[in-house]
Chain A
Amino acid sequence: MKPLLTLTGIIAMILLVLFLIANKQVSDNSNKPLAADTDYPIIQTADGVFYHQGIHQDATKDNIGAIGNMSFVVGDTCVAVIDSGGSYLEGVKLRHAVASQTDLPVCYVINTHTHPDHVFGNAAFKADNPQFVGHEKLAAAMQARQTPFERTFKALFEEDYDGIEFITPTLTVSIDTPLTIDLGNRPLTFTAYTTAHTDHDITVHDQKSNTFWTGDLLFMERIPVLDGNLTNWLKIMTQFQQADYDVVIPGHGTASADQWRSGLAKQQHYFETIRDEVREIIADFGTIQQAIEQVGLSEKDNWELFPQYHRRNVTATFTELEWE
């Protein structure tokens, strides 16, 4: 037994050394005073492009609302953060993650839309005095939701709600007029859309790495949520299918070089299924309750958090399609 233990020990030692070397490379790259928090892993998808993948849960005090994907892009002169966190606490962790990679300041904080999991970390970047970037309708949407979001999330996060602020954009993007900014040899282009996931979605494109951030116009693994217009959203998904990106970072779920196309197809299939089945019920003068009980059940096993959001999606679809 003893030689075997020794062998195991040697293997363990080798693995430990390899692990330390690997870690050292990352920290050599950064060589910064603030290390990324160990409970907040970040993944590098390209040179200067990093993201933290949120978990597929509803926001809770325990998970500090870290349920969406938060990214940052490092240019020669400064950094852009794409979605700021689902709480002030997550915003701070994200800021630490940036500091673990670069000393450069954060000059842009982009909010792909105003849902809490994408904007509640904004205040953690105030010290950088960045431009806050959003859709031209983001401010109105944020104001309209502020009271209910405050109430819901104060109850949810309790004392951990402290620090959250509703910060409206200082730089807005208009529908059909993409806006390009520069991080220093690193142009980023923002595109604003007509009502789809919400009435104020924007996407981000990094030309250097050909990375595309969909915001919540794409959910991978986790059930998508309709808080806007299904018909427009389906059109936008078709546009995305025709585009050519090296990496796509969705609003939720795994970033990828290729899986995103099948993820997009899966999301299209989900919404087409709901649309077709709701249309049938409306044509038969069925009720919204009937639709909620009957529609889209074949999709049940395809998605994380299906019970939490599917009925809501059917409700929203029904009231939209009544006006077709």
Chain B
Amino acid sequence: MLNKFMGLLALSLAFTSFNASAVTPKEPLWPSLKIEHFGDAEIREDATDFLVLETPKRAEDAAIVPITIKSLVPQTADKYIKNLHIIIDNNPEPYSANFTLSPKLGLIDISTRMRVDQYTFVRAIAEMNDGSLHMVSNFVKASGGCSAPAGKDAAAALARLGKMQIRMRSPVIGEAVQAQVIVSHPNYNGLQFDQASRQYIQAHYVKKMTISYNDEPLIHLDAGISVSEDPSLRFTFMPTETGSLKAEVLDSKAQEFSSEKEI
């Protein structure tokens, strides 16, 4: 409750220092977002004993806001986070990501980058295999001045569309290792207007990303339009035998890309 209170306090301070009706909607969006995505299910709020959400206090660059979610309790076959939902209340499409997680991942440690262009709560909601829901949330201030969620060089991202990288430090069998998958993609959110054609640029973004090890899925991501240009997913997993880490990507125009790395 303290976090929530501090958040509300920050929100009300924001209201007094600016006439911020244009910056933050007057009615908190969360109650309706909660019903939209979780119905009347009970969500345990401020589940900081279980989940850690790392976000910058201020979105330094509205187009690239690093977000990290960690679990404090390892995944086990009996009790594990089945899905991790990311909601950014005040984004044009708040429901931003849904990670489906394997019970074999151990401790969850996932990072990605999102567009955050105005004052907002960012929420991570863990849905357990028993159906219970646990939420942590942070308040992120908007960046100032000339920062905007538009990509810096959409032409360059489009030119290398689908190019992928799988990066990691030298892995050791039986030890947890961090890996990162990046795919070059402009991730057009469909909100950008093209002056020449007098039409909105059709949304074109990464919709799905599946990470598997030896064909067994570790993480599956259903992504929305909040994900930054050149989507990046950094995660921890434990290779228990030699094999192949594979990343498969599907975008909103049904284009498929994939990349593999032998361990």
For residue A228, which residues in chain B have a CB less than 8 angstroms away from its CB? 152-153
Which positions 210-233 of chain B face chain A at CB distance < 8 Å? 228-230, 232
Cα of A117 to Cα of B60 in the assembled complex, Å = 18
A-side residues, CB < 8 A to B, are 58-59, 115-117, 139-152, 154-156, 158, 168, 195, 198-199, 225, 227-229, 285, 287-289, 292, 308, 311-312, 315-316, 319-320, 322-323
Interchain CB contact under 8 A, A58 and B145: yes
Cα of A148 to Cα of B91 in the assembled complex, Å = 11
Nearest CB on B from A18, distance (A): 41
Q: Does B150 interact with chain A (Cβ within 8 Å)?
A: yes
Interchain CB contact under 8 A, B20 and A155: yes
Nearest CB on A from B237, distance (A): 15
Interchain CB contact under 8 A, A144 and B148: yes
Interchain CB contact under 8 A, A145 and B145: no
Q: Which of A143, A158, A195 has the most CB of B within 10 A?
A: A143
Interchain CB contact under 8 A, A148 and B182: no
Q: Does B117 interact with chain A (Cβ within 8 Å)?
A: yes
For residue A308, which residues in chain B have a CB less than 8 angstroms away from its CB? 144-145
For residue A144, which residues in chain B have a CB less than 8 angstroms away from its CB? 148, 150, 192-193
Interface residues on B, range: 35 or more
Nearest CB on B from A264, distance (A): 21
Cα of A192 to Cα of B78 in the assembled complex, Å = 61
Q: Does B61 interact with chain A (Cβ within 8 Å)?
A: yes
Q: Please, could you name 14 A-B residue pairs with CB atoms under 8 Å apart, sorted by A?
A: A58-B145, A145-B150, A148-B62, A151-B22, A152-B142, A155-B19, A199-B153, A287-B111, A292-B56, A308-B144, A319-B229, A322-B230, A322-B232, A323-B230
Please name the residue on chain A nearest to B160 by beta carbon: A323
Cα of A199 to Cα of B64 in the assembled complex, Å = 17
List 6 tightest A-B contacts by C-beta distance, closest first.
Answer: A139-B195, A144-B150, A115-B146, A143-B193, A312-B60, A145-B148
Q: In the complex where A148-B118, A155-B20 touch, is A311 in contact with B195 (Cβ < 8 A)? A: no
> Per a CB cutoff under 8 Å, which of B21, B54, B117, B150 touches A141?
B150
Interchain CB contact under 8 A, B194 and A151: no
Cα of A33 to Cα of B165 in the assembled complex, Å = 64
Question: How many residue-residue contacts, CB under 8 A, span A and B?
Answer: 122
> Per a CB cutoff under 8 Å, which of A156, A198, A287 touches B18?
A156
Interchain CB contact under 8 A, B146 and A285: no
Interchain CB contact under 8 A, B230 and A319: yes
Q: Does B156 interact with chain A (Cβ within 8 Å)?
A: yes
Please name the residue on chain A nearest to B65 by beta carbon: A315
Please name the residue on chain A nearest to B178 by beta carbon: A285
Nearest CB on A from B111, distance (A): 7
Interchain CB contact under 8 A, A116 and B192: no
Please name the residue on chain A nearest to B118 by beta carbon: A151
Cα of A311 to Cα of B59 in the assembled complex, Å = 10
Cα of A315 to Cα of B20 in the assembled complex, Å = 27
Interchain CB contact under 8 A, B66 and A288: yes
Please name the residue on chain A nearest to B145 by beta carbon: A58
Nearest CB on B from A57, distance (A): 10
Nearest CB on B from A145, distance (A): 4
Cα of A154 to Cα of B19 in the assembled complex, Å = 9
Cα of A115 to Cα of B146 in the assembled complex, Å = 6
